[in-house]
Structure 1
Amino acid sequence: MIKVTLREKPISKGRKSLYLDFYPAIKNPETGASTRREFLGMYILEKPKTAAEKKHNIETLDSKKY
């Protein structure tokens, strides 16, 4: 059984990158190499100030459910 956790990693300009953390490591089907992380290319703001920024964070985090 593989456990998958959604994690956040701080990056530049006050943003956080979202990624999946796998335990135990899984094999990449293309390369055959073991990996623990898959970055999703999705970003949220660490400290949203405006309503639009807060909405962006909520919508981005809600989209992870699908």
Structure 2
Amino acid sequence: MASATSKVAAPGPALNGIKRDEMPLQDRQPLEDLRMHRSRIAIDLKARTGFDCRSSIAQIEQDIAGR
């Protein structure tokens, strides 16, 4: 079980640096898979009790949005 101080690593710049319209169609699937994975992580973190995961959730949601 994770401790109260654990954080989820967020590859913000990695997702932000990739522009969907500049990617060949076959290369988009790995990015979409990563976005889906991060969405599942955010859902899991929101469901947890006893931990303050707000900053991790906010970072993940920013990454998903591509900001």
The question of a shared fold, defined as TM-score above 0.5 by the shorter chain, is answered with: no
Q: Which has the larger radius of gyration?
A: 1
Of structures 1 and 2, the one with the larger relative CO (CA 8 A, separation 6+) is 2
Q: Which has the larger strand fraction?
A: 1
> Given the two structures, how large is their TM-score scaled by the length of structure 2?
0.32
> Given the two structures, how large is their TM-score scaled by the length of structure 1?
0.32
Q: Which has the larger helix fraction?
A: 2
